[in-house]
Structure 1
């Protein structure tokens, strides 16, 4: 038996190195998320991290402000198809491009479901300046708290 690594049958990983690289990608607690959370916390706002805004929806937001009904997502440029920075993959492009397209469709479905339930969805790209994101989050959450979550302000990046 050889010590060389072989991908399991049907695996998307084309090599051991690629597999290690893909496994190292974080789905939560990324540097942009941590920075924005730290700055929002410094503004005196409290929130849930990686929480489900709706109990019956199997999706989590990066930051959830329950009383204000605000869900914040910090989307990675590659995984969520940033119009500025997404570069189609060269290796196994069919699989990865389809995956990103499914992620985008799921994001739009999540937005729609949350909005129908009275939530405000804020989406920011990972490349956006943290200070701008924090200013928008702070403004919207404070406004919705003051107005009793009836405000419809906000934006999707």
Structure 2
């Protein structure tokens, strides 16, 4: 299937996608801040440049978009119909890199958790899962 917009428009649209301070990330940050948690943002010295870092707890939270990070079984993670030869390797590389970064973090003594974009529909459940992770280490 052919893309519904020209290449320049598609490039501009994709260029607007944020890697930091995205809407889902900002929502998680607000939830945690209102719950009394304090954190550091985007620590570049750690594998994967985690979204939220809790140094005293040795905990990390990644906030992933379902499309970009291929959330398995999620409707938001559907593949584009145009240019699958481009998209499949790109999105699978993101997924492999995420797994490798989590392994490296574990080796460094950090515990990591991922919050998916689609999970944020139920903010109370996400906050409960985040609290359990931060207080007890349960990955939820």
TM surpasses 0.5 = yes
- CA offset at residue 61 of structure 1? 0.9
* Paired residue secondary structure (1:154): coil
Mark the runs of 5 or more structure 2 residues left unpaired by the alignment: 1-5
Match of 1:66 among 51, 55, 72: 55
- What is the aligned-residue RMSD (CA, Å)? 1.6
| Deviation digits for residues 2-22 of structure 1 (CA, Å, limit 9, x no counterpart) | xxxxxxxxxxxx611101101
TM-score scaled by structure 2? 0.85
Q: Distance in 2 between matches of 1:154 and 1:21?
A: 34
What is the Cα deviation at residue 45 of structure 1?
0.6
Matched, 1:77 2:66: yes
Task: Pick one of 84, 91, 104 that aligns with 2:82.
Answer: 91
1:56 CA drift (Å): 5.9
2:91 maps to 100
Secondary structure in 1 matching 2:68? coil
Unmatched 5+ residue regions in structure 1? 1-13, 144-150
Q: 2: distance between equivalents of 1:15 and 1:31?
A: 26
Greater Cα radius of gyration, structure 1 or 2: 1
Of 17, 40, 46, which residue of structure 2 is paired with 1:48?
40
Given that 1:32 and 1:130 are in contact with CA atoms closer than 8 Å, whether structure 2 keeps it comes out as: no
The separation in 2 between residues aligned to 1:44 and 1:139, in whole angstroms, is 14
